[in-house]
Amino acid sequence: MATLKDVARLAQVSVSTVSHVINGRPDIPERTAARVRKAMEILDYRPNRLARALMKGRSERIGLLVYGRRWFVNPLHGLVLGGIADAIAKTDYCIDLFVQPDVDISLTAEWRARKLDGIIVLPMPLSEETISAIDRIEFPVVVIDGWWESENVRFITSDNVVGGEIAAEHLIDQGHTRLGYVGATVGEFANAERLKGFQQVVRRRGLSPDDVWVAQRDWSYEWAYEVASQWFAKPDHPTGIFAPSDTLALGVHAAATDRGLKVGRDVAIIGYDDTPVATQVRPAISSIRQDGYEIGQASVDMLFKMIEGEEVSSRKHPVQLVVRESSESRRRGSPVL
């Protein structure tokens, strides 16, 4: 098996020059670099990943922090992970996965011990303690679906407030005045931002936020089914419901169907994420589309730029409403009694 010295000898350069070429250093003349690359090809030389990482002063490992096992159930999260995995596959990096409900001293100590070059925090409830712990991390961090004032952390998310606004506008335009929001964890960033946008439009359109039925607990199908079933048992139940994920919307959809209500006629439903599950029921569910795969890829791009010392700004990705049968069958403008 060829070594670094063998390549240097054949190319008639120093070992350090070969290292510089491998690491893409710009200070090596192109003719010299070409000679080194040719020698590597002749000798079928493959730089050892660990050796290359040591030469760069990096571990070539990044961490992914995931909030508990239930996180993997959300269809959007699979798209985000797919984007991250595909982006990482194009590099020499590997991923260390951490499944934990919060960030504490022992976890950050583990990250330092593994000499991670950076970490991506996937969507999770962010307590004050977790935010403080993340802010103290000394290497690059990208948080998906979070946002706070920070000098060290960068954020990437969909425009959640706009998504909530679009959902409310559509339901009110369809004639719905009794509105409901079947939400997730109280105070969790994405959930709070989507509810905020929803209520802003309710006020702008002359309705009272106090008249909007709001229930919040978690992101599960079971929870959405439970609360929607309770609502639909009442004669004055909401007729236009926004759920801030497609999984929650599915729970509402099933509850309506089981109560004998016709989705799209008796009750309108809008989800969020526009994952494949939205089209796997009938009537299909209208949804606020965000590109989870692109968000995953963009998070890796941001993190690598931070690792390289580049200035990076946080980003909000655009969203749009995809209208389907669950919210479009009622004649626009006709009041819902």
Domain identity same for 184 and 243: yes
Rounded to 5°, angle at Cα 78 from 75 and 84: 150
Of residues 148, 179, 159, 144, the one with CA closest to residue 267: 179
Helices 4-11 and 30-43 pack at an angle, to 10 degrees, of 120
Domain identity same for 166 and 286: yes
Q: Where are the beta strands (DSSP E) in 72-206?
A: 94-99, 118-121, 141-144, 153-158, 179-183
The answer to whether position 127 is within a domain reads: yes
Whole-angstrom distance, CA of residue 44 vs CA of residue 233: 72
Tell me: pLDDT of 335 over 70: no
Domain identity same for 194 and 270: yes
pLDDT band at 222 (very low <50, low <70, confident <90, very high): very high
Range of the domain at 206: 160-290+321-328
Domain identity same for 97 and 28: no
pLDDT in tens, 63-91: 999 877 667 778 888 899 999 999 999 88
pLDDT band at 146 (very low <50, low <70, confident <90, very high): confident
pLDDT band at 194 (very low <50, low <70, confident <90, very high): very high
pLDDT in tens, 121-139: 987 777 788 888 888 888 9
Domain identity same for 128 and 170: no
pLDDT in tens, 236-258: 999 999 999 999 999 999 999 99
The answer to whether position 131 is within a domain reads: yes
Query: How many other C-beta atoms are found inside a 10 Å radius of the C-beta of residue 281?
Result: 18
Domain identity same for 142 and 101: yes
Domain identity same for 276 and 200: yes
Of residues 317, 238, 305, 245, the one with CA closest to residue 274: 245
Whole-angstrom distance, CA of residue 167 vs CA of residue 136: 37
The answer to whether position 208 is within a domain reads: yes
Domain total for the chain? 3
The answer to whether position 301 is within a domain reads: yes
Q: Give Cβ neighbours of residue 31 (< 8 Å, ≥ 6 apart).
A: none
Domain identity same for 105 and 153: yes
Domain identity same for 81 and 135: yes
Q: Give Cβ neighbours of residue 247 (< 8 Å, ≥ 6 apart).
A: 73, 74, 75, 219, 220, 221, 224, 271, 277
Of residues 98, 82, 65, the one with CA closest to residue 292: 82
Whole-angstrom distance, CA of residue 83 vs CA of residue 178: 38
Whole-angstrom distance, CA of residue 273 vs CA of residue 322: 10
Find out whether 274 and 288 touch, Cβ atoms under 8 Å: yes
Whole-angstrom distance, CA of residue 238 vs CA of residue 236: 7
Domain identity same for 32 and 92: no
**CATH number assigned to the domain comprising residue 48:** 1.10.260.40
**CATH number assigned to the domain comprising residue 67:** 3.40.50.2300
Domain identity same for 196 and 50: no
* Residue listed under structure tokens 């939400």: 183
Find out whether 239 and 266 touch, Cβ atoms under 8 Å: yes
Domain identity same for 283 and 299: no
The answer to whether position 334 is within a domain reads: no
The answer to whether position 279 is within a domain reads: yes
With residue 268 as reference, give the H or E element that holds it: strand 268-273
The answer to whether position 333 is within a domain reads: no
Global confidence as pTM: 0.81
The answer to whether position 304 is within a domain reads: yes
Mean pLDDT of the chain: 89
